[in-house]
Amino acid sequence: MTSPEPDPGRDSESEGTLPLGGLTESALPSRDLPIPTSALAIVAHPDDAEFLCGGTLAKWAVAGCTIHHLILTDGSKGSWDAGADTAELIETRRNEQLRAARVLGSKGKVIMLGRVDGELTASSDVVDEVAYWIRVTEPTVVLAHDPWKRYRLHPDHRNAGWIALDSVVAARDPHFFPEHDVPHHRPSALLLFEADQPDHVEDITEYTDAKVDALLTHRSQFHTTHGIGDPDDVEQRERFRERVTEHAARLGAANGVGGAEIFKLITDL
């Protein structure tokens, strides 16, 4: 995930809005799913899962859930440096995502689909691939972008949501992509982050630090999304930690917990 480039006059160390999803001022009706046996986070870019559901994934991993990541794009647009080597950036972001998953406690697969960053479409061939991985990983819960989020600018986030939903439908029914060499699979629940109308909260009070630690493995994103101008400046990294923690605390305060992530919960799958 890459934030828009700031105006040239902006201080490179100034802090823009972090892509942590929206806030809610009222308590949500649903709270804390039973710990799933396995979970699959389907996201557009490296670092999206950590920003949007990292605390939930860390909590579930500690409790024994097998966490899988599926990253749809290669992250090749994730730099403001016009002279950056694209192949090196792709490899860097791949390695950062692998490390981030392990920091969250994931022992499952990290699947890099490798579609070109910024050019993701909800085509049948992408749905074919994602449905295959849903069948392979057999998640109890799928976590994904909310495609109904209003006024979303980034096309990859919009399309990633549609891809995830279409793939859940395809994976559950045997007559979709029958050439797959694995049985069809129906998840029990779908959690949509960046939700337009959130109705579910996960308590991440004890896992906000793990979320931030995972985000800090994405060093290539410090100057862009993270708002950390100097990667070696401890104070800037701590300010980033404080901002993520404060956002989780604001969500938690509305729901009677110390820190939270919020979602749209869909169980009629």
Domain ranges of the chain: 32-266
* Burial (0-12, 13-18, 19+ Cβ within 10 Å), 235: exposed
Give the per-residue pLDDT at 2.
54
Ramachandran angles phi, psi of 192, nearest 5°: -100, 120
Closest CA to 204 of 62, 84, 76: 62
Residue 188, helix vs strand vs coil: coil
Within 8 A by CB and 6+ apart from 94, the residues are: 46, 74, 75, 112
Angle at 16 between CA 117 and CA 85, to 5 degrees: 35
**CATH topology for the 32-266 domain:** Rossmann fold (3.40.50)
Indicate whether 174 pLDDT > 70. yes
Predicted confidence band of residue 13 (pLDDT cuts 50, 70, 90): very low
Average pLDDT over the chain reads 92
> If you average pLDDT over residues 4-19, what whole number do you get?
46
Predicted confidence band of residue 5 (pLDDT cuts 50, 70, 90): very low
Distance CA 118, CA 67 (A): 26
Indicate whether 10 pLDDT > 50. no
Distance CA 226, CA 235 (A): 13
Percentage of residues in the chain having pLDDT higher than 90: 82
pTM comes to: 0.92
Q: Is the dihedral of CA 213, 217, 218, 224 positive or negative?
A: positive
Residue-wise pLDDT for 60-115, tens only, equals 999 999 999 999 999 999 888 888 899 999 999 999 999 999 999 999 999 999 99
